[in-house]
Structure 1
Amino acid sequence: MQDKKDTSEQERERLREQELKRNPTGNMNDAFNRTNSGNLPDLVGSLGWKGTGILIIVIIIGFVVVSLFFK
């Protein structure tokens, strides 16, 4: 239940978390669009642990490919 002592920041965070639970695929699209503004915590929070793991693996593979072909 909502506590009357919630600040506006806590209220926004609670609403954001509820929206993430209701619409995970739309939020993944939003997360990728947020990267244009450089908001990494929202990107990782929206992707979840699986999406974050895949993102890290893609970055590592990209780094390896670039280092092999451009040395």
Structure 2
Amino acid sequence: MRDENETPESSRERMRQEELKRNPAGNLNDSFQRAQTGGLADLVGGLGWKGSGILILVLIIVGILAAIFLN
């Protein structure tokens, strides 16, 4: 019942919280590293599909400009 109206973002967060309750120290080093550097899944999840598309376009344009000016 709860899953019908749940967004993908809230579903991921709920599953993450359940995993932390079951295994609080299992991925301690990985969690520490991710907290310092951030994760791609967190970035894309926070931006949504429009923001992710814009980010990809910006990266492609920056790559093309870099290739043009560095040649």
1:13, distance to aligned residue in structure 2 (A): 1.3
CA distance in 2, matches of 1:12, 1:56: 23
Higher helix share: 1
Task: Give the gaps of 5 or more residues in structure 1.
Answer: 3-10, 17-33
Q: Which residue of 2 aligns with 1:67?
A: 67
Aligned residue pair count:
45
- Based on CA coordinates, which of the two structures has the bigger radius of gyration? 2
Task: Give the gaps of 5 or more residues in structure 2.
Answer: 3-10, 17-33
Q: Which residue of 1 aligns with 2:41?
A: 41
TM-score by length of 1: 0.51
Q: Which residue of 1 aligns with 2:58?
A: 58
TM-score by length of 2: 0.51
Deviation string for 1:25-53 (max 9, x for gaps)? Answer: xxxxxxxxx8x614110000110000000
